[in-house]
């Protein structure tokens, strides 16, 4: 019905904001300060002073802004949350400049259009509506950095919220869900394993410890664990992949064909169902290294060692109990289905910090991360209408 307007999106009030956000190349490896400072300056000009929490390097920041309730209170209330970083476009064949919004066939194309600058831009464009509302409770905006590389930024912001006693009562993470509430997702646990062997000439292999061969044994053990979860569960049929998974993603080792490799390094991840304790799986992997492989390696040479380091952990979002925020989003979207996402988000972090969280945002995850990422204009319209209902639901009853 609204298709007459679809090609231009001229009816979408958020479009200037979304276009501005998309023009910043906030690929996770880059600084996001240009985007954050633009939003900060805009909020300031509207009389809102946001709090920035910086990465140790100073090159990246989270932004948290509070629109207080009509009585001036700034604790409690609802957070609208999104990450500012995007995945790389390296090696992808795009039909248009990925860092310039391009409107074609009722869709907005650009890196981050779907994941998740469409949501952030829509929320920012509603600042006047938020400020014109007599809010019963505060409304907060939370923009994070480095979500795509393992939810690195959001924990700093959450620590700051706790230190300042903000204690929001609910959070909506606007990751792409087709504007349907998603109540749970798996956890992501990303680790690096370094296997230290002992170098020797390859003609004298018994004098060395082959780091690649022991790393291969570790990798096979991780695969065996994954197979066990697949074969024996536990299962949750609400997930596309209904069991806990694990896999090795990257491996490197060795310096020459005729040298026993002294070092092999690999990264692996465990994606756990909310009901499965990921730390326990990590401990199983570490004990196999410690108790089974290391004694054999040390028998070959006392220098051998295996070390693990945690790269990133994003806890699962469980739906054990539905918070008031989930009920609100269900009521506003008229959607009561139980949906669980196969991807990780910052929602699990908010929930782990005691802030009930639900995921609901424009676009679909299949449209993100690849070449010609897009969000349908219809989804942006639905997002605006949804957020307007959220704001209205927070107004003081007359």
SS3 string, 239-284, reads: CCCCCCEEEEEEEEECCCCCEECCEEEEEEEEEECCCCCHHHHHHH
Find where tokens 């780091």 sit: 211
DSSP codes, 202-230: GGGGGGSB-HHHHHHHHHHHHHHHHHHHH
Element (H, E) at 375: strand 374-376
Q: Nearest Cα to 134, choosing from 324, 391, 331, 388?
A: 391
Cβ distance to Zn ion smaller for residue 116 or 126: 116
Q: Nearest Cα to 26, choosing from 139, 116, 128?
A: 116
Cβ distance to Zn ion smaller for residue 26 or 326: 26
Cβ distance to Zn ion smaller for residue 64 or 119: 119
CB of 148 to Zn ion, least distance (A): 7
93: which 2 tokens?
């064949």
Q: Which stretch binds Zn ion (CB under 5 A): 96-104, 107-115, 195-203, 315-323?
A: 107-115
Q: Nearest Cα to 152, choosing from 307, 325, 342, 344?
A: 344
Cβ distance to Zn ion smaller for residue 210 or 379: 379
Q: Which stretch binds Zn ion (CB under 5 A): 168-176, 182-190, 320-328, 374-382?
A: 168-176
Give the x/- contact pattern for Zn ion in 128-167, rule: CB under 5 A: ----------------------------------------
CB of 114 to Zn ion, least distance (A): 8
Find where tokens 């070092």 sit: 263
CB of 362 to Zn ion, least distance (A): 12
CB of 165 to Zn ion, least distance (A): 28
Q: Which residue is nearest to Zn ion (CB)?
A: 115
CB of 185 to Zn ion, least distance (A): 11
Q: Which residues, in sequence order, are CB contacts of 356 under 8 Å at separation 6+?
A: 169, 170, 171, 323, 324, 325, 326
Answer yes or no whether residue 115 interacts with Zn ion by CB under 5 A: yes
316 SS3 class: coil
Answer yes or no whether residue 85 interacts with Zn ion by CB under 5 A: no
Task: Report in angstroms the alpha-carbon separations of 95 from 46, 102, 111.
Answer: 37, 10, 12
Q: Which stretch binds Zn ion (CB under 5 A): 37-45, 114-122, 216-224, 251-259?
A: 114-122
Answer yes or no whether residue 373 interacts with Zn ion by CB under 5 A: no
Q: Nearest Cα to 282, choosing from 236, 218, 326, 348?
A: 218
Size of the site for Zn ion (CB under 5 A): 3
Give the x/- contact pattern for Zn ion in 36-55, rule: CB under 5 A: --------------------
The runs of H, that is alpha helices, within the chain are: 15-22, 33-45, 118-125, 127-131, 154-164, 211-232, 278-287, 294-300, 324-333, 347-352, 377-393
Cβ distance to Zn ion smaller for residue 19 or 346: 346
**Contact in structure between 123 and 387 (CB atoms under 8 Å):** yes
Q: Which stretch binds Zn ion (CB under 5 A): 43-51, 170-178, 184-192, 296-304?
A: 170-178
Cβ distance to Zn ion smaller for residue 146 or 175: 175
Cβ distance to Zn ion smaller for residue 115 or 372: 115
Cβ distance to Zn ion smaller for residue 115 or 373: 115
Cβ distance to Zn ion smaller for residue 175 or 378: 175
CB of 112 to Zn ion, least distance (A): 9
Q: Which stretch binds Zn ion (CB under 5 A): 55-63, 134-142, 173-181, 297-305?
A: 173-181
Please state the separation of Cα 364 from the chain's center in Å. 15
- Report the interface residues with Zn ion, using CB under 5 A: 115-116, 175
């Amino acid at each position: 019905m609204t298709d007459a307007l679809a090609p231009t999106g001229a009816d979408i009030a958020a479009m200037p904001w979304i276009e501005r956000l998309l023009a910043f190349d906030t690929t996770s490896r880059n600084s996001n300060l240009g985007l954050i400072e633009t939003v900060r300056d805009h909020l300031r000009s509207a009389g809102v002073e946001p709090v920035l929490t910086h990465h140790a390097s100073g090159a990246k920041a989270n932004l948290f802004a509070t629109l207080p309730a009509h009585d001036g209170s700034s604790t409690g209330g609802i957070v609208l949350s999104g990450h500012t970083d995007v995945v790389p476009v390296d090696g992808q064949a795009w039909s248009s400049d990925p860092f310039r919004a391009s409107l074609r066939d009722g869709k907005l194309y650009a890196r981050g259009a779907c994941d998740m600058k469409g949501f952030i831009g829509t929320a920012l464009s509603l600042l006047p509506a938020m400020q014109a509302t007599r809010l019963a409770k505060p409304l907060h905006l939370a923009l994070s950095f480095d979500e795509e590389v393992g939810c690195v930024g959001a924990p700093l912001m959450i620590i700051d919220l706790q230190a300042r006693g903000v204690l929001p009562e609910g959070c909506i993470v606007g990751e792409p869900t087709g504007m349907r509430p998603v109540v749970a997702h798996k956890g992501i646990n990303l680790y690096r394993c370094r296997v230290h062997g002992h170098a020797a000439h390859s003609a004298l292999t018994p004098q060395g410890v082959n780091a690649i061969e022991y790393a291969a044994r570790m990798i096979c053990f991780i695969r065996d664990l994954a197979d066990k979860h697949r074969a024996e569960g536990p299962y949750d049929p609400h997930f596309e992949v209904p069991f806990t998974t694990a896999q090795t993603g990257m491996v490197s080792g060795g310096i020459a064909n005729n040298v026993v490799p002294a070092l092999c390094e690999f990264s692996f991840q465990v994606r756990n169902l909310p009901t499965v304790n990921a730390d326990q799986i990590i401990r199983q992997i570490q004990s196999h290294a410690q108790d089974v492989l290391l004694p054999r390696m040390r028998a070959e040479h006392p220098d051998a060692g295996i070390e693990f380091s945690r790269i990133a952990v994003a806890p699962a979002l469980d739906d054990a109990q539905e918070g008031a925020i989930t009920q609100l989003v269900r009521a506003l979207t008229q959607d009561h289905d139980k949906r669980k996402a196969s991807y990780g988000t910052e929602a699990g972090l908010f929930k782990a910090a005691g802030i009930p969280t639900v995921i609901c945002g424009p676009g679909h995850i299949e449209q993100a991360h690849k070449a010609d990422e897009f969000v349908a204009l219809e989804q942006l319209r639905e997002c605006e209408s949804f957020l307007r209902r959220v704001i209205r639901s927070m107004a003081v009853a007359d």
